[in-house]
A and B are shown apart, each in its own frame.
Chain A
Amino acid sequence: MNRKNILRNVTLAGLALLSFAQGRADDVVVVKAKKIITVSGKPIENGAIVCKGGKIVSVGDVASLSIPPGAIVKEAIVVTPGLIDVRTCVGLSGIINVDHDSDQLESSSPLQPELRATDAYNATEELVEYIRSFGVTTIHTGHAPGELMSGQTIVAKTIGNSVEESLLVDGRAVCATLAEASKKSGKQSPGTRGKQMAMLRTLMLEAVEYRKKTSKATDNTKTTDSKEAVSKDTGDLPPRNLRLETLVEVLDGKKALLITADRAQDIASALRFAAEFGISIWLDSAAEAHTMIPQIQASKVTVLLHPSMARASGEKANLSFETASLLRKSGIPFAIQGGFEPYVPKARVVLFEAAVAAAHGLSREDAIESITLSPAKILGIADRVGSIEVGKDADLALYDGDPFEYTTHCVGVIVNGKVYNGESSK
């Protein structure tokens, strides 16, 4: 295959597309590639992927697959599953970084787990399109670090004109932040680490009590969702409390608790908290995870690792490019995140972050997995996305070379079987 011709073809196709997705959901899209990185199985050389109705309907050797007439055909050197950012704030946090496009952090109170990302996500935010142009098709986005409990998250596809069109999972996690980032000054709380944990524990104990009351009132039926309890004796029900309802879902394992903690002592506090309430947490950022491997292994928590290129300063002063590799070797489930940036670059691209990990000890295969199947499993959406398999969503990223090389281009992106532009260099 001639690389230049492919590039030209893809570029011409890109020009014709302008910024609109090509085709309709019932179109057949075929992607041919020199190498298909399926992630779930072995890579396929000279392969093709047939997508129909938004799903992958066949994958295999290009010679063995029949390509339906009228199909839209795209070519690439390398195809990967659509990339997944396991922790970002894009869509709540916008490109201009002013009040009107910044909804990632509400600072009126340190504890607001009831804030829903659904009510704040802007599906048409430019940065969503920007990261998609490098191959990111699914994001776990929501409230930022910076308050003790800042709010919830969603899982969304990087397409659509409204959150409803983008949404995969509503209310996936509740975000908490330990240490400096959520400390207050003066007479406001929390002002210390000890107070942070006391406040979290107090609120969580309230949720435990609230769950007891609501479950009693609902006659111990299977559901603890108080919304379905209206037919019961509402006299016994405590008044609805959105804050505690959210945390009951955390206690019940319906929502994950994501705890941002970088220093070893804060990681230890997060693990202690998880053990006290018997909940599974996602350890977010975790710059000093490399000093806490045995403890993390023992607690069986998952790590949403900071971007490889996060700044080595403040509580991240001791971060290491090699942490991803170390987590992999230690068998700790992890994914590499784009994270939240308060200034520049306003959005990090997980492709670039995984690339740097791949240059520092993580194998290229594991690095791809850390931004595809691994986050899909963590987020509980691996039945839909994360690998190139028949039956999964037709979410693909097309590259003109090794996806991690600095000088490679993302030449096209497919989400739910529709073709979108890759990166622009015009």
Chain B
Amino acid sequence: MFPIHRRTFVRDSARLAVVGGLIGKCSTSFARPYPLEETIAWTNAKIVTASTPIIDKGVLIVRGSSIIDVGAVGQVAIPSNAKVVDASDRWIMPGLVCTHSHVGGVGAADGSSPIQPGVRILDSINVREPGFKRALAGGLTTLNIMPGSGHLISGQTVYCKLRYAGHGPSTIEDILIRDSNGKAIGGLKMANGTNSQGDAPFPGTRGKSAFLVREQYIKAREYNAKVIAAKDNPDKMPPRDLHLETLVEAMQRKRIVHHHTHRHDDIVTVIRLAQEFGFHVVLHHVSEGWKVAKEIAASKFPCSIIVLDSPGGKLEAKDMAFKNGRLLDEAGVRVAFHTDDWITDSRLFARSAALAVRAGMNRDKALQGLTLAGAEMLGLEDRIGSLAPGKDADFVLLNGDPLSVYTRVLETWVEGKKAFDLSNPDDRLYAEGGAGAGSELDPFLCCYAQAWQVGGAK
């Protein structure tokens, strides 16, 4: 439908168009100041801010990569230099946050041991995997990319921003979310129940699973005691242990634990372990969460749930139901949704929230479950998840109610840049599928292929 050569053509045109901008990036000799940050105001849109009631006729103002204001038409001052875009008949909502995704052809821990917290998923992500473009087509802007559930501890997760605007990322470094020290932020993936059981050295029972995890956290405690006792004296420091130092980060709440768990008793086991070792945990999938909603609420740990079209596939997911979101929310549990992509398709992420609403979940809470609640579960709520001044300009333009099957994501903006546009045939290919949609994304041949055209950059 959109053959490869056409995509290449479009991309080549884009390359030529941005060549001037590239010089600044690729060469010091031609360095020039970036243009002044553009201010754009979207007006007359129905706006889901996710933190305040829905605005029927609103304005969203973005400068550079940040939101500078949002509110009802007439109540927000539009800067005189702003480019004004009439968004009548459009909905705008925060960029969707997926707390649990596997896009990027990822693999962290291997089969050698059930506990491998030192393994980082960021060392395994292929940013050219087309799943990233499909995620943008679904309005996703932030992903928690996770290792699988086949281990008790399968490694470190990484939080990514889908910075695919323009030529897109070349490496994983281009899409990481970093803290103020420039360090990539992510969590720790754990799992219990049947997925992480197996032949030795993997556990064969639930009791053994919990034992193995406790044993490691106790070791990590002892390791940390040595680190503290060394008082920064390098001669007294224990040898670095990548596994144990990761568990220490979790116990110090510098790293959130994202825990796969289905059955009601497994869920309660996770809470028990989290309380014993003091780590903060997000309960993932939680198929039987509705059976222990009160206990989860009492723990104050949030739930990131999966919504599937039918229950089963394995015994521990047999009682999964659309009502899970409603019952957890009504019990006072914070609820987000996730795609578990490729288990469900990121392009249809909003559908998960809609099916929860079908079973009676509060609409506003369901919309938060796609946005703000997920941001909270990644510890990123100060930066993303809602439309509010100062937050990253991550948002989605839709042609209708996000919870309707007929609604389409028209544009996805990441940090003030348009990263998906349904009217662009290149992007549309990923939204609809078709010949070439499954191929790896083309690399952007920046400096070495084009340097000669601009007089030799180096």
A interface vs B, CB < 8 Å? Answer: 94-98, 126-127, 130-131, 288, 290-291, 309, 311-313, 316-322, 341, 343-349, 352, 355-356, 358-360, 404-409, 424-426
Contacts and interface: CB of A to CB of B under 8 A. Distances in A.
Interface residues of B, number: 43
27 contacts: A94-B312, A95-B310, A97-B313, A98-B315, A126-B312, A127-B310, A131-B310, A290-B434, A290-B435, A312-B345, A316-B438, A317-B437, A319-B433, A320-B1, A320-B433, A322-B1, A343-B313, A344-B308, A344-B312, A344-B343, A346-B312, A352-B309, A360-B432, A404-B405, A406-B404, A407-B403, A407-B404
Interface in B332-348: 342-345, 348
B322 A425 contact: yes
B313 A344 contact: yes
Given A319-B433, A344-B317, A407-B357, A95 B403 contact: no
A226 B343 CA distance: 48
Contacts of A345: 308-313
B254 to A, nearest CB: 33
Interface of A is mostly: loop
A348 B438 contact: no
Contacts of B348: 309, 356
A406 B313 contact: no
Nearest first, the 10 closest Cβ-Cβ pairs linking A and B are A317-B438, A95-B312, A406-B354, A344-B313, A320-B433, A346-B312, A345-B309, A425-B359, A345-B310, A345-B308
B423 to A, nearest CB: 16
Contact of B437 (A127, A320, A404): A320
Interface centre among A322, A345, A406 (most CB of B within 10 A): A406
A360 B407 CA distance: 10
Contact of B311 (A95, A319, A426): A95
Nearest to B316: A96
Interface in B404-447: 404-408, 432-439
A348 B310 contact: yes
A353 to B, nearest CB: 9
A349 B351 CA distance: 14
B219 interface: no
A348 B309 contact: yes
Contacts of A312: 130, 134, 345, 433, 437-438
Contacts of A341: 313
B405 A356 contact: yes
Contacts of A320: 1, 432-434, 437
Contacts of B322: 425
Given A349-B309, A406-B355, A322 B437 contact: no
A311 B1 contact: no
B314 interface: yes
Contacts of A355: 405
Contact of A425 (B130, B318, B360): B360
Given A312-B134, A352-B309, 9 more contacts: A96-B318, A127-B312, A290-B1, A309-B345, A316-B438, A317-B130, A344-B308, A359-B407, A406-B404
B253 interface: no
Nearest to B342: A311
B236 interface: no
A321 B358 contact: no
Contacts of A98: 315
B138 to A, nearest CB: 12
A125 to B, nearest CB: 10
B323 interface: yes
Contact of B435 (A130, A288, A356): A288
Nearest to A347: B310
Contacts of B354: 406-407
Contacts of A408: 358
Nearest to A321: B432
A260 B354 CA distance: 32
Nearest to B407: A359
Contact of B433 (A94, A318, A409, A424): A318
A356 B439 CA distance: 23
Contacts of B351: 406
A360 B406 CA distance: 8
A320 to B, nearest CB: 4
Interface centre among B343, B345, B438 (most CB of A within 10 A): B438
Contacts of A359: 405-408
Contact of A311 (B130, B312, B318, B345): B345
A347 B309 CA distance: 7
Contacts of A130: 310-311
B89 to A, nearest CB: 17
A77 B376 CA distance: 40
B167 to A, nearest CB: 23
Contacts of B130: 312, 317
A425 B310 contact: no
